[in-house]
Amino acid sequence: MTSKQTRIGMGFDAHRYLPTQNGSTNKVMLCGIEVPSMYDIEANSDGDVGLHALVDALLGSVAAGDIGMHFAPDDIQWKGARSSMFLKHALAIVHEKGGELINIDITIIAEKPYISPYRQRMREKLSELLAIDIERVSVKASTTEKMGFIGREEGIAAQACVSVLV
């Protein structure tokens, strides 16, 4: 019998911002929760960059490709789909390969919206979606100090790392 090993996976995602209708406040999905925003997100699905990066990290940890291989971005059936569905699919693949999720670490990279007021709710939602203890869930935020497309508030990005015992 071979012993299990710890493997890591890393994911990244970015989406372009679109102005909201009439400058009204909108809500965007981030790490499974709705966050007030002055922008809409251009995406085929709900555009949750946190969950999209996490899906890629989970798939990468067991060498199962990336989100686009499982959910083609130009496939109409995913129009408006909840990213939590993609996450559950990726977690099921990890489990099918004998993997056990150890922890996750997500960084949202944006000038706006501000993440701090929503960080704990994000951690709680991720803990619930992944069925892991909240102490194994980290959500952080960063900016690009006004540099690049994120600094110009043209979009948002996220990166995620996971460790999995397989």
* pLDDT score, position 35: 97
Range 142-149 average pLDDT: 97
Residue with tokens 């995620």: 160
Range 144-158 average pLDDT: 97
Residue with tokens 């960059």: 49
pLDDT bucket at 55, cuts 50 / 70 / 90: very high
Q: Report strand pairing: 100-109 vs 155-165.
A: antiparallel
What is 6-165's CATH number, 3.30.360.10, 3.40.50.150, 3.30.1330.50, 3.40.50.1370? 3.30.1330.50
Share of the chain above pLDDT 90, in %: 86
pLDDT bucket at 2, cuts 50 / 70 / 90: confident
Residue with tokens 């892991």: 132
d(CA 139, CA 39): 21
d(CA 42, CA 22): 17
Is residue 24 over pLDDT 70?
no
For 29-43, the pLDDT digits (tens) are 999 999 999 999 999
Is residue 46 over pLDDT 70?
yes
Is residue 6 over pLDDT 70?
yes
Range 112-137 average pLDDT: 97
For 57-104, the pLDDT digits (tens) are 999 999 999 999 999 888 888 888 999 999 999 999 999 999 999 999
Listed in order, strand segments (DSSP E) in 89-153 are 100-109, 137-142
* pLDDT score, position 130: 98
Phi-psi region of 78 (alpha: psi -120 to 50; beta: other; left: phi over 0): alpha
Average pLDDT value for the chain: 94
